[in-house]
Amino acid sequence: MSQVLDPPPPTRASTQAATATAPPSGPGHDLAALAARHGLSVSGARPSLPQYVRQLWARRHFIGAFSTAKLTAQYSQAKLGQLWQVMTPLLNAAVYYFIFGLLLDTRRDVADFVPFLVTGVFVWTFTQSSIMAGTRAISGNLGLVRALHFPRAALPVSFCLQQLQQLLFSMCALVVILLAFGVPPGPSWLLAVPALVLQFVFNAGLAMIMARVGSKIPDMAQLMPFLLRTWMYASGVMFSIEHMTGPDSGLPSWVGTALQLNPAVVYIDLMRFALIDSFGGSQLPPHVWALAVGWALVAGIGGFIYFWKAEETYGRG
């Protein structure tokens, strides 16, 4: 009769060896192994920066079509329709002329004050509208963000492109105003093209920064008009910074330097220098083109990377 022997009790060493050699198990590991076996990846995962740039470039036709559609629909309910693209900045310029040009008499220190004012209002409106649209780019389009998979940077960039198209419509009215007030066209008008390109890059960078901030802090859209209005008053839109900060102003010299380094001042003054003969190079900040390129690169590249780092979080929560 054979005798059945019980196996010896496991030792601590054999238990640790079995634990070390046993394959991990659990729902998370099983799903991860299944995904890896079939070549699946996490949906909505942030791509690498070069891959993200390629994805954004591949959607360039979508960005252009989306910005044009938004621009067309912006005034679709108004009876005057697309005329408001030109009338809105012109009416703003008329209000500023009444308050600053007539009541405060800032026009006495500025030659060609009306072209000076209208140019400043149009260029500032481009930056202001781009930042405001960027602030709501994600929070105001959650349905689109959650329904479709695309690089989210396409939204703030398309809104900036929309504002650029609106500025180009306004520039037609600006040319008429310049000619009406005796400002002749000249070769310097070509400088408006690189100035606008640099300003667009700067605006797009700020729009992407504010898009990320606005997606996390919805109240930022309510705060931005006050911040932008303060920035506008410090940007020489309605007055000459050169005269306001001159030796007779009583202000410290660093105030004038800080105001001239203001990126909004840089792009406004570049446009005035390009279009208005009486606005000479002596009224520009030192190294103005270097400043314009520097602000565009800092805001454009920095804003793009800052927005990209939160790519996976947009539309969640």
Instruction: Assess if residue 119 is contained within a domain.
Output: yes
- Pairwise CA distance, residues 291 & 269, whole Å: 12
* pLDDT tens sequence for the chain (317 residues): 444 445 555 555 554 544 444 455 555 556 667 656 655 555 557 889 999 999 999 999 999 999 988 888 876 666 666 677 777 777 888 888 888 777 777 777 788 888 898 899 999 999 999 999 999 999 888 888 888 888 999 999 999 999 999 888 888 888 888 898 888 888 999 999 999 999 999 999 999 999 999 999 988 999 999 999 999 988 988 888 777 776 666 677 777 788 889 999 999 999 999 999 888 888 888 889 999 999 999 999 999 999 999 998 887 75
In this prediction, residue 18 carries a pLDDT of 47
Nearest to 298 by CA among 232, 201, 233: 201
Find, among 128, 118, 126, the residue nearest to 164 by Cα: 126
The total number of structural domains in the chain stands at 1
Q: Is 25 inside any structural domain?
A: no
Residue 12 lies in a domain: no
- Distances in Å between the alpha carbon of 211 and those of 130, 197, 254, 277? 11, 21, 32, 38
Alpha carbons 65 and 73: distance in angstroms, whole number: 12
**Amino acid 110: pLDDT:** 80
Range of the domain at 121: 81-313
pTM: 0.82
pLDDT for residue 187: 92
What the block records as the tokens of 289 is 């083109």
d(Cα 154, Cα 60) in Å, to the nearest integer?
8
pLDDT of residue 193: 95
284 occurs within a structural domain: yes
Instruction: Indicate whether 128 belongs to any domain.
Output: yes
Q: Examine residue 271 and state whether it is found in any structural domain, yes or no.
A: yes
Position 46 scores a pLDDT of 82
Task: Tell me the C-alpha distance between 307 and 286, whole Å.
Answer: 31
Residue 240 lies in a domain: yes
**Residue located via tokens 């390129």:** 293
Q: How many CA atoms lie within 13 Å of 53's alpha carbon, on the beta-carbon side?
A: 5
pLDDT of residue 17: 47
User: What tokens were used for 225?
Assistant: 């008009």
Does any domain span residue 70? no
